[in-house]
Homo-oligomer: A and B are copies of this chain.
Amino acid sequence: MTVISLMTDFGIKDGNVGVMKGVIWKIAPNSQISDLSHMVAPQNIPEAALILARSAPYFPPGSVHVVVVDPGVGTARRPLAAKIGTQYYVGPDNGTITGLLERAEQENWPLEFVHLTEPRFWLENISYVFHGRDIFSPVAAHLSVGVPLAELGTRILNPVRLNLPKPERKTNGWRGEIIHIDHFGNLASNLRVEHLDLLLARPEKLHITLGGIEIQGLVNTFGERPAGELIALFGSTGNLIVSVVNGSAAARLNAKIGDSILVEAG
């Protein structure tokens, strides 16, 4: 009873995700399927990479993560399967696994990459435009019923990686940027507990500057402050976030992905 997660930029109205489940259950009728997100912004590979990296560690060993944000579908970009630690990725070789690879390298997880070249694990007819259905779903299903990774294609060593923005050390702190805006309008940055470690002895003395606004000090959670107040805190995956209590920081600050955020000791 393995778990397969699905993430795409397909939206939820056209039936494409449901079809992928039909394809999977034809091959792997006992697999559990979790929708991670189908509202990734169209063609936004960095967003998919971010969600994959922070979500996969919570899944059981053996889980297979199918991610299809695939502007290069039907071109020369390679179809890929990877073993990253105890879990699998199936999808285009376009950098979607970058964030998860960084985590794997920090933690010395074993890595294995395969260029999918064995059509006997695919649907019979392959369209030019929907490899999520025709290649990636059946491959994930075969993996989940025990087909070894190595049988799916040719081993490779150099999967595509994104150049993700890195925080920058400043004299008195760190400069990062906004990398995700969630459903509530919380602004997540690429500044993590690890970066700010040395500054955290006195969290009430930190200054967080974003979009011309300064926030004084960190809180632990939303309910520490009254509704409507702008706060900074660590999100559930260790990234520094900026929020409005019971409101939207994105709307308040008119913020967008890529905006700069500065954290300095007081």
A interface list, Cβ under 8 A from B: 1, 3, 5, 7, 9-15, 17-19, 21-23, 25-26, 29-30, 32-40, 42-43, 51, 54-55, 58-60, 63, 71-75, 77, 127-130, 133-134, 180, 182-184, 220-224, 233-236, 246
Contact B221 A73 (CB under 8 A): yes
Contacts of A18 in B (CB 8 A): 5, 7, 34-37, 55
Residue of B nearest to A77 (CB): B223
Contacts of A184 in B (CB 8 A): 9, 11, 42
Tell me the complex Cα distance, A236–B1, Å. Answer: 30
Q: Jot down 24 A-B pairs with beta carbons below 8 A, ordered by A.
A: A1-B30, A3-B22, A3-B25, A5-B22, A11-B183, A12-B35, A12-B183, A13-B37, A13-B183, A14-B51, A15-B37, A15-B51, A21-B34, A22-B34, A22-B55, A25-B60, A42-B184, A73-B221, A74-B220, A74-B223, A75-B223, A77-B223, A127-B234, A130-B236
* Closest CB in chain B relative to A53 CB, distance in Å: 10
Tell me the complex Cα distance, A25–B22, Å. Answer: 18
* Closest CB in chain B relative to A111 CB, distance in Å: 21
> Which one of B14, B63, B183 contacts A182 once the chains associate, using CB atoms below 8 Å?
B14
Contacts of A9 in B (CB 8 A): 184
> Which one of B14, B23, B39, B42 contacts A246 once the chains associate, using CB atoms below 8 Å?
B42
Q: 10 nearest interchain CB pairs?
A: A11-B183, A74-B221, A130-B236, A13-B39, A18-B36, A22-B59, A75-B223, A21-B34, A128-B221, A127-B236
Contact B75 A22 (CB under 8 A): no
Tell me the complex Cα distance, A247–B11, Å. Answer: 14
Tell me the complex Cα distance, A120–B54, Å. Answer: 23
Tell me the complex Cα distance, A75–B245, Å. Answer: 13
* Closest CB in chain B relative to A16 CB, distance in Å: 8
Contact A12 B25 (CB under 8 A): no
Contact A224 B75 (CB under 8 A): yes
Contact B71 A223 (CB under 8 A): yes
- Known A-B contacts A14-B37, A14-B182, A29-B60; A133 and B22 likewise in contact (beta carbons under 8 Å): no
Residue of B nearest to A22 (CB): B59
Contact A32 B25 (CB under 8 A): yes
Contacts of A77 in B (CB 8 A): 223
